[in-house]
Amino acid sequence: MVNKDDFLYPRSRYYGQVKPENLLFNANLQEFAQKVSYICNLETSGKIPPQEAYEQIKELWKSLKQSKKELRIGENPFRMDDEDKPEE
């Protein structure tokens, strides 16, 4: 039997650099994309007005931006991780 949440909120596998902050941001990004898709579908079908759809997506974007800032994604692009260090 398929879990309702797995059906409504599918998650894709993460292929990037495996670090806790990257995994968490990826989950947040997938959730953002899923919610934007639902909002767009509601607006397209006439269930919500365009301005309301815009405002909801704008709030989701602010939330995703805040998540990126709190997780410090991309703040130090020159930091060398263990896999990036030159071989000795």
Number of Cβ within 10 Å of residue 60's Cβ equals 16
- Residues 68-80 have pLDDT tens digits of 999 999 887 555 5
**Is 37 domain-assigned?**
yes
**Is 39 domain-assigned?**
yes
**Is 7 domain-assigned?**
no
- What is the extent of the structural domain holding 29? 17-69
- Residues 6-53 have pLDDT tens digits of 766 667 788 888 899 999 999 999 999 999 999 999 999 999 999 999
**Is 59 domain-assigned?**
yes
**Is 52 domain-assigned?**
yes
**Is 38 domain-assigned?**
yes
Identify the residue with better confidence: 84 or 4: 4
What's the number of domains the chain is made of? Answer: 1
Q: Is the pTM of this model over 0.75?
A: no
**Is 43 domain-assigned?**
yes
